[in-house]
Amino acid sequence: MASLLTASPGVRLARNDAAAGAALGPAPRLPLPWSASAVAPLRISSGKFALAAISLDDYLPMRSSEVKNRTSTADITSLRLITAVKTPYLPDGRFDLEAYDSLINMQVDGGAEGVIVGGTTGEGHLMSWDEHIMLIGHTVNCFGTKIKVIGNTGSNSTREAIHATEQGFAVGMHAALHINPYYGKTSIEGLISHFEAVLPMGPTIIYNVPSRTGQDIPPAVIEAVSSFSNMAGVKECVGHERVKCYTDKGITIWSGNDDECHDSRWKHGATGVISVASNLVPGLMHNLMYEEQTAVLNEKLLPLMKWLFCQPNPIALNTALAQLGVVRPVFRLPYVPLPREKRVEFVRIVESIGRENFVGQKEARVLDDDDFVLVSRY
């Protein structure tokens, strides 16, 4: 890996914006977005300046409550294939929105019904909150009528989770994904209180992945908050027994493990899967969740699913998408690409499953170390 390239931390802008603005001349005066009748009579305050009360109702297209409530919890609980979508980067580490939009279109075309934006797979933990909320808003703006946008707005800080969730719903996301507080773990009562603080804001999926958080969310917590009208369900990574425990109680569950999702769906009652593999083969993952007689397809996909988790996610996925030519081979540190032998293995897996089943149009190829760019400052 010693030969992997590192991008420079920034880009110098060559344009003189002040001069450019002067050359364009004064900006035209635009009409105000409200009518004169919407401005109330002046109210003289005790301060130095007079204050005007302005009614916004005449020009806001929707009230905030309407935006937040336009998606029902039932709209989320019916989704069978949700993709935890990858976030691609430019060589300087900024988002590659052109590649991102292409990825989302591939998910729509492949039959995915929802996307998790900025989750573990999308590297939300490597984003500033400004980047995070911008990407959620961009996804809603471009694709919100075609696919459900679920923003990962969870945090180990309840205050931060509340603020991010408010912003996520304000920019139009259809549902929130919330993890339990990690590292600074809390008590059972603390877990319940944490989720009770965010559930009133809109449809919510709770995410249980003890291997990352260091703390399991036990059934007692989920059962305690299951009466909330916004409780859409649980992304569960513990296994089939836990899935069955919830589905027997009528709680919606998505498998968080691609290699278990077939049996969770068809043998243990899960609604579907929140998937990493569907970034690569959305059509096949759609078939796996909708067509009951898919045991043979599941066996065919298992080598890919296991390969995707040979190192912590999303390392393998990032490597695979770069090898397929659908994203640039750019990694935000601390992630680095898989070693060459694993890259060779991926090309063989593609050949086994069939290139036509994978996203993109280019042939899968084995990239060299020098093809990758690692970004430490962005």
pLDDT per position as a tens digit, 288-300:
999 989 999 999 9
- Residue 311: is it exposed, middle or buried by C-beta count within 10 angstroms (0-12/13-18/19+)? middle
Tokens found for residue 174: 């259809």
Q: Kindly tell me if the per-residue pLDDT of 180 is higher than 70.
A: yes
**Percent of the chain residues topping a pLDDT of 90:** 80
| Least confident range of 17-21, 135-139, 146-150, 164-168 | 17-21
Report pLDDT for 29.
46
Report pLDDT for 67.
55
Q: Which residue has the tokens 């260091």?
A: 214
Angle at 183 between CA 178 and CA 184, to 5 degrees: 90
Catalytic residues, by residue number, are: 207, 235
pLDDT per position as a tens digit, 215-255:
999 999 999 999 999 999 999 999 999 999 999 999 999 99
Tokens found for residue 123: 């590297």
Report pLDDT for 69.
56
SS3 375: strand
Which strand (E) or helix (H) includes residue 294?
none
Report pLDDT for 124.
97
Rounded CA-CA distance 344/207 in Å is 33
Q: Kindly tell me if the per-residue pLDDT of 131 is higher than 80.
A: yes
Report pLDDT for 58.
42
Report pLDDT for 71.
82
Rounded CA-CA distance 285/159 in Å is 36
Report pLDDT for 97.
98
pLDDT per position as a tens digit, 17-50:
444 444 444 444 444 443 333 434 334 344 444 4
Q: Across the chain, how many H-helices and E-strands are there? A: 15, 13
Mean pLDDT, the chain, rounded, equals: 88
- Residue 122: is it exposed, middle or buried by C-beta count within 10 angstroms (0-12/13-18/19+)? buried
Report pLDDT for 39.
38
- Provide the residue type at 18 as one letter: A
DSSP secondary structure of 240-289 = HHHHHHHHTTT--EEES-GGGHHHHHHHS---EEEESGGGT-HHHHHHHH
Q: What is the largest CA-CA distance in the chain?
A: 77
pLDDT per position as a tens digit, 47-93:
444 444 434 444 444 455 555 556 899 999 999 999 999 999 999 99
* Interval 315-319 mean pLDDT: 98
CB 152 within 8 A of CB 181: no
* Interval 317-337 mean pLDDT: 98
* Interval 348-363 mean pLDDT: 98
The structure's pTM equals: 0.83
Angle at 212 between CA 209 and CA 214, to 5 degrees: 90
**Percent of the chain residues topping a pLDDT of 70:** 81
- Long-range contacts for 134-140 (Cβ within 8 Å, ≥24 apart)? 135/87, 135/95, 135/100, 136/168, 136/171, 136/172, 136/173, 137/171, 137/172, 138/97, 138/100, 139/104, 139/115, 140/171, 140/172, 140/173, 140/174
pLDDT per position as a tens digit, 148-163:
999 999 999 999 999 9
> Which of 302, 301, 268 is closest to 283 using CA atoms?
301
pLDDT per position as a tens digit, 182-195:
999 999 999 999 99
